[in-house]
Chains A and B, each alone.
Chain A
Amino acid sequence: MSMGVIVRRELNSYFSTPLAYVFIAIFLMLSGLFTFYLGRFYERGQADLIAFFSFMPWLYLVLVPSIAMRLWAEERKSGTIELLMTLPISTFTVVLGKFVAAWLFVGVALALTFPIWLTVNYLGEPDNGVVIASYLGSWFMAGGFLAIGSCLSACTKNQVVAFILTLVICFMFVVSGFPLVQDFFSAWAPLWMIDWLSSLSFLTHFDAISRGVIDLRDILYFIVMMGSWLLATTIVINLKKAD
């Protein structure tokens, strides 16, 4: 299938440059740092990975845009987009293929954090169902970040601009569920708007999943999120490929 061809090329290109190794190394280092120092993994004395997963959104916030920024900006800058878009493959298939490759790549990085899961199993008896759910939720959240990044990367030829735009928009999607933001709105905004805002937040949906509660609605939220941003990517590319 033609999407598979795109996915394979993209994945190969990640691993043929230092990008993949640098990303994975930093991802593993930071996630360890966050878990053990900021998350006080040992001091908490509990056999779970909450310390690990609760920092995930923040880690993604910085690292995922660095993967997403090159998705389209690079193609547009080097002109290879012309090559790609004149192959007999539809734009959406290419958009999806590139996204899936990036998502699988982040999945690999996430899977490589397994030592921490081994550690917690060695130290105690965690609820592995919850851990698996958290991993899944975390991966879906990464997909949401990536889809946003894909769209914003399509908006510009400049990877740095793509990075910053993605960071800002993702940040907004993370904090919209924060008490701080909620308080700001709760003083004057109608209740439905506050609910709507918090329902848009990555955190709201991720928290539920990471507590081990797999609600179809939370999964659906991330799927809809990915779908709509990828659709937006397709539209942006069709509009902007000319310039």
Chain B
Amino acid sequence: MIKIESLTRSFGRFTAVDGISFMVSPGEVLGFLGPNGAGKSTTMKILTGFLEATSGTVSVMGHDVANEPKAVQALVGYLPEGAPLYGDMTVRGFLNFIGQARGFRGDELKQRVSSVVQKVQLSRVLDQTIDTLSKGFKRRVGLAQAIIHDPKVLVLDEPTDGLDPNQKHQVRELIRNLSKDKIVIISTHILEEVSAVCTRALILASGKVVFDGTPDALSRLSRHHNAIAIKLAAQQDAASALSAIDGVASVDSDPQTGSFIVYPLNGMSLLREVNQVIHRNGWDVEELHVEKGRLDDVFRQVTLEGVST
């Protein structure tokens, strides 16, 4: 269990984190969202004991970060932003170092290193200098050092940033496999990532929490949630017939291509009603699908509102 209570951190006059509070329980994968400078990294740095809070408390499994930083750090695995590593070391040397620093010796150390190497598939580059590795491999080394002690809490600051789609996929798979009974906190500004790996999304803007809920609840905030896109074979004016349906908020139309988007009120499902209208008018439908919420719309809406209030 992680408990954060009215956490504030200022740098001079600038308040990076402004009185945020939340709790995370084991098994949760929390996606930390927000524009750059919203306070995501700062919160993570305080949680891992790298920075001190200006005020407020953070406790991890009952240990207060300010009073018992070492106890907290022993429980937490951390991948800092950009995955900084000692470039002049080999992968093996580096993982051995982190393992030793975490208190493992002898056979246990060997076993830990080999298990983590297997988990993130590093055996091919084990004796290469880290500087010579590709970005994807470097990120995996960063993940490996974060999970070498099988931490109860895993804090990953932008783990997929700058990776290609395949590498992103691999890293997400890895996170999904890890997260069973752990607390995982991931910061990202890639919204698809939240629906891909997180069980909960928390959006920060200007140091404040502006949204806290499931990724589904987040996408439901979008006006595109349950919107129905229709493409007709022949050009006709279907807009008036569609807007007449009960529960339709508005209809966007593009008569040139014969495409329409029907937006429902409050994200209700209108597929049935729309289908009836199509049948009644005998339209020839080329394409019809129900849209999911567009997360980047919601993101913009939520974070910009957050700034203005």
Contacts and interface: CB of A to CB of B under 8 A. Distances in A.
Contact of A88 (B74, B82, B86): B74
A78 B87 contact: yes
B78 A79 contact: no
A215 interface: no
Contact of B50 (A8, A9, A82, A90): A82
Interface string A115-158: 00000000000000000000000000000000000000000000
B70 A88 contact: yes
Given A16-B89, A88-B73, A79 B84 contact: yes
B102 interface: yes
Interface stretch (B92-100, B182-190, B235-243, B286-294): B92-100
A89 B98 CA distance: 11
Interface string A77-119: 0111011011111100000000000000000000000000000
Contacts, number: 66
B88 A17 contact: yes
Interface string B90-114: 0001000110111100000000000
B97 A16 contact: no
A6 B103 CA distance: 12
Interface residues of B, number: 29
Interface string B16-42: 000000000000000000000000000
Given A16-B88, A87-B102, A242-B11, A79 B93 contact: no
B97 A9 contact: yes
A13 B98 contact: no
A241 B50 contact: yes
B84 A2 contact: no
Contacts of B80: 79, 82-83, 86
Nearest to A241: B50
B244 interface: no
A219 B145 CA distance: 41
> Interface extent on A, as a size class?
20 to 34
A17 B51 CA distance: 31
Could you tell me the dominant secondary structure of chain A's interface residues? helix
Nearest to B149: A88
A89 B69 CA distance: 9
Contacts of B89: 9, 12-13, 16
B101 A2 contact: yes
B51 A88 contact: no
Contacts of A9: 86, 89, 97
A16 B94 CA distance: 13
A13 B86 contact: yes
Contacts of A2: 101, 103
A216 interface: no
Contacts of A89: 70, 101
Contact of A86 (B11, B71, B78, B93): B78
Interface of A: 2, 5-6, 8-9, 12-13, 16-17, 78-80, 82-83, 85-90, 241-243
17 contacts: A9-B97, A79-B84, A80-B84, A80-B85, A82-B50, A82-B80, A82-B84, A83-B78, A83-B80, A83-B84, A85-B50, A86-B73, A86-B78, A87-B102, A88-B73, A88-B74, A242-B11
